[in-house]
């Protein structure tokens, strides 16, 4: 089975702030990001709009308060760390 764009839904505007991504990159939300299923293969990473280098896919999850309030979201987004640029969160649609 190949993963095309039809397997994704984009949810905006998550996250709103680069600090949210920094928290994920520091591993602070591993409890949640580790539950996001691995995607193999990942779709081609988009090009960073600033430096034109390929961006990097990361697993992203909202903070623990959101999960306590049953508003937690997890999925994939692409980041360029040097430029602090990111794409909207993509959540996989299961079938």
Residue numbers at the binding site for Zn ion (CB under 5 A): 48, 50-51, 80, 83
Least distance in angstroms from the C-beta of 51 to Zn ion = 3
CB nearer to Zn ion: give 50 or 88.
50
Least distance in angstroms from the C-beta of 27 to Zn ion = 22
Least distance in angstroms from the C-beta of 17 to Zn ion = 17
CB nearer to Zn ion: give 81 or 91.
81
Write phi, then psi, for 44 (nearest 5 degrees).
-55, 135
* Rg from Cα positions in the chain: 13
CB 36 within 8 A of CB 76: yes
Least distance in angstroms from the C-beta of 84 to Zn ion = 8
The owner of tokens 């280098």 is 53
CB nearer to Zn ion: give 3 or 51.
51
CB nearer to Zn ion: give 55 or 89.
55
């Amino acid at each position: 089975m190949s993963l095309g764009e039809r397997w994704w839904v984009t949810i905006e505007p998550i996250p709103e702030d680069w600090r949210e991504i920094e928290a994920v990159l520091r591993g602070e939300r591993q409890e949640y990001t580790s539950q996001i299923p691995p995607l193999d293969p990942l779709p081609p990473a988009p090009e960073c709009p600033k430096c034109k280098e390929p961006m990097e896919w990361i697993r992203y999850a909202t903070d623990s308060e959101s999960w306590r309030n049953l508003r937690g979201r997890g999925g994939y987004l692409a980041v360029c760390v040097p430029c602090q640029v990111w794409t909207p969160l993509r959540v996989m649609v299961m079938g």
